[in-house]
Amino acid sequence: MIGDYLETLANILPRVPREPIEEIVAVLQRARHEGTRVLLIGNGGSAATASHFVNDLLKGATRLGQPRFKVMCLTDNVSTLTAYANDAGYEMTFAEPLTALAEVGDVVIALSGSGNSPNVLRAMDAAKELGLTRIGLTGFTGDKLRAKCEGCVVVPSDSMQIIEDAHLAILHSIFREMCG
């Protein structure tokens, strides 16, 4: 089982399309130099990956002579997340804080293995209304999330664990580009 899983992951990564990853790099470079915010969202394992990427950009991508990233993960404030889930409904857990925190020109990056999470999709609708650049990372066919993004990486897999591992590898490749 272990060998099969690792082999499957190793075979999927070369099949991940490079063009949308390069587009994400360009969007993040622009955000860094223009001082716009980058806000990340995701559920479950995708929330953990989103939080991890914030750490990479906030601390790890700091370079002398370059502006710092203004980046945050909307899943990192549990009390806000649960208050919106309880009082406004789970589908509003990202849309409401995004509406309060984001400004025109900011970037939202949504991670959703399935691409079908109602709270992520609702947030992307709010992001469009707010004039944000919308980026997605998903798997399966990614249709619902991809349709709401200007740029979206779809991992060609129907295994949630492979998709989540690929998302972390993709974000690490982006991080390394930000450090170059």
Condensed to tens digits (0 to 9), the pLDDT of residues 65-83 reads: 999 999 999 999 999 999 9
Q: What are the structural domains of the chain?
A: 2-179 (3.40.50.10490)
Residues 6+ apart with CB under 8 A from 1: none
Q: For 111-169, what is each residue's pLDDT tens digit?
A: 999 999 999 999 999 999 999 999 999 999 988 999 999 999 999 999 999 999 999 99
What share of the chain has pLDDT > 90, as a percent? 97
**Mean pLDDT of all residues belonging to the chain:** 97
Collapsing DSSP states into helix, strand and coil, what is residue 124? helix
Residues 6+ apart with CB under 8 A from 8: 157, 159, 162
Q: For 46-56, what is each residue's pLDDT tens digit?
A: 999 999 999 99
Print the SS3 string covering 6-18: HHHHHHHHHHCCC
Rounded average pLDDT over 21-27: 98
pLDDT the model gives residue 89: 97
Nearest in space to 137 (alpha carbons), one of 33, 53, 76, 56: 53
Q: CA 56 to CA 54: how far, in whole Å?
A: 5
